[in-house]
Amino acid sequence: MNFKRADFPDGFLFGAATAAYQIEGHKFGGAGSTHWDTFAATPGNVIRAEDGAVACDHYHRYASDLDLLKDAGMDAYRFSTSWARVMPDGRTINAQGLDFYDRLTDAILERGLKPFQTLYHWELPSALADQGGWMNRDTVMRFGDYVDAITDKIGSRMASIATINEPWCVSYLSHFLGHHAPGLRDIRATARAMHHINLAHGVGMSRLRGKGIDNCGIVLNFEYAQPATDSPADIKAAATQDTLYNRWFIEAVTKGTYPAEALDGLAPHMPDAWQDDMAEISQPIDFLGVNYYTRNTIAADPDAAWPHQKSVAGPLEKTQMGWEIYPDGLHHFLTRAARDYVGDLPIYVTENGMAWDDKVENGAVYDPARTQFVSDHFLAAKRAIADGANVQGFFYWSLLDNYEWAFGYEKRFGMIHVDFETLQRTPKASYHALKSAIARD
């Protein structure tokens, strides 16, 4: 790594991130069916129809997984709590679920790690999906009840609580592009989900504030929109992509507005009286989480329906996901978030990382591409701090190889290799490199 702990401000947090369904093993502990279980069980949606039933079996192995985090010299752990584990039918509390998160919280704190919780990282209970999921406003109210239940159990021990992880994925990727559960391709469903997920953030914030929680915010994902050429049409197409991906959520949360360019296509499909929700959506937050991975090259596609654009292959080096490696994009979004949206508010890089086809050879995993990727992105964050962004921490995605949604277990993002037959963990070379970089002198 071309950086060290001392290159970052005092108190800067180095951590790693995971999410419940991707690691825990959803079949353990009385969790209820989620829309990901049924999406995965439907042919063609997920590679080999794999699901999160066992995943990394973190449910039973969390203590040794946290030891690995601690042994790397990390300061914080970003994890999520599963709605369907806490409330299997979306409404009724599962005591085993609450107890698991109680034990997990104790184990995080016992190791001197700061717990960064995310309340929704995509485990929508199937019983609520049956009633329209995020298309249905009532799901938002049920989410508020889940926030109450889990917060009463562990909220006072959290260093930070994020309401929603990546609302763009929850809504646009899942209801317009059809790549994630529930796998829809429908503009009315999309507009509703894009608004209701923002409202769920607002309602979540209201419930947290009602309990005196003062370290809460949201985690948004950003992707640099690169015009395919200098033509005005491609520049406009990239700007539209930027509006739908990068501006819709942050402008709602920080300004209480939706960008006009996005409403051009979505307004006719929005829920009635959506304007009345914008005050709750835009109440003050305590931090912003930024997830950043790549850039996307966008070309105009005038023959297609709105938004009249398509993604085309870019020239940069790519990860196992086929995602271009573009560290300048992280600097762009951190400085842009500070300048245009959150000012001096703390910003955390809540996810950044890369997938690679890692193999264990002679008991070790050699992953120099990941070490380079991490190093370059940390340096981009360091430049953003020098340029005025109040970045207070950086979480590598992910601690462990895990369930990569529609890609099943094929794409490996972890700093720790997981053999999905034996569930054996093997820290990769990048884990050791990060450990050396962040060691305290």
Residue with Cβ nearer ligand IFM (321 or 364): 321
Residue bearing tokens 């209701």: 196
Q: In sequence order, what E strands does 308-410 have?
A: 309-312, 347-352, 391-397
User: Closest separation between CB of residue 239 and ligand IFM, Å?
Assistant: 24
Query: How many residues belong to the site for ligand IFM (CB under 6 A)?
Result: 8
Is 404 catalytic? The answer is: no
Beta 309-312 vs 76-80: how paired, if at all? unpaired
Q: How far apart are CA 375 and CA 268, in angstroms?
A: 45
Contact 381, 330 (CB under 8 A): yes
Shortest gap between Cβ of 321 and ligand IFM (angstroms)?
7
Q: Smaller CB distance to ligand IFM: residue 413 or 431?
A: 413
Cβ at position 291, least distance to ligand IFM in Å: 5
Residue number with CB closer to ligand IFM (59 or 413): 413
Q: Is residue 50 close enough to count as binding ligand IFM by CB under 6 A?
A: no
397 belongs to the binding site for ligand IFM (CB under 6 A)? yes
CA dihedral 74, 60, 46, 81 (to 10 degrees): -60
C-alpha dihedral sign at 203, 351, 152, 285:
negative
Output the smallest distance, CB 313 to ligand IFM, in A.
19
Q: Which is nearer to ligand IFM, 15 or 265 (CB)?
A: 15
The Cα 360–Cα 365 span in angstroms is: 5
Which one, 164 or 213, has the nearer CB to ligand IFM? 164
DSSP letter string, 189-237? HHHHHHHHHHHHHHHHHHHHHHTT--SEEEEEEEEEEEESSSSHHHHHH
40 binds ligand IFM (CB under 6 A): no
Confirm or reject binding of residue 163 to ligand IFM (CB under 6 A).
no
- Among 270, 254, 243, CA closest to 202: 254
Residue 293 CA to residue 311 CA, distance in Å, equals 16
How far is Cα of residue 241 from the mean position of the Cα atoms in its chain?
19
Contact indicator for 97, 29 with CB cutoff of 8 Å: yes
Closest CB 120 distance from ligand IFM, rounded Å: 12
Q: Please, what is the minimum distance in Å from the beta carbon of residue 232 to ligand IFM?
A: 32
Among candidate residues 50, 223, 251, 351, the one labeled active-site is 351
Considering only residues 226 to 245 of the shown chain, the ones binding ligand IFM according to CB under 6 A are none
Nearer to ligand IFM, 171 or 291 (CB): 291
Distances (CA, A) of 439 to 63, 67, 226, 416: 22, 16, 37, 18
Residues 87 and 32 sit within 8 Å (Cβ to Cβ): yes
Site residues (CB under 6 A) for ligand IFM, limited to 326-385? 351
Residue number, 82 or 136, with CB nearest to ligand IFM: 82
Q: 248 or 274, CB closer to ligand IFM? A: 248
Report the distance separating Cα 219 and Cα 165, nearest Å: 5
| 425-427/416-418 β-pairing | antiparallel
Contact call for residue 291 and ligand IFM (CB under 6 A): yes
Contact flag: residue 19 with ligand IFM (CB under 6 A)? yes
**Which of 24, 50, 123, 166 is labelled catalytic?**
166
368 near 2, Cβ under 8 Å?
no
CB of 326 to ligand IFM, least distance (A): 15
Per-residue tokens: 252:
């709602």
- Shortest separation between residue 398's beta carbon and ligand IFM, angstroms: 7
Active-site residue, 166 included: yes
Cβ atoms of 341 and 294 within 8 Å: the answer is: no
Q: Contact at 8 Å (CB) between 217 and 288?
A: yes
What is the DSSP secondary structure assignment for residue 24, as one 8-state letter?
A: S
Q: Quick check: 404 binds ligand IFM (CB under 6 A)?
A: yes
Interface residues with ligand IFM (CB under 6 A) are: 19, 22, 166, 291, 351, 397, 404, 413
Q: Which residues are catalytic?
A: 166, 351
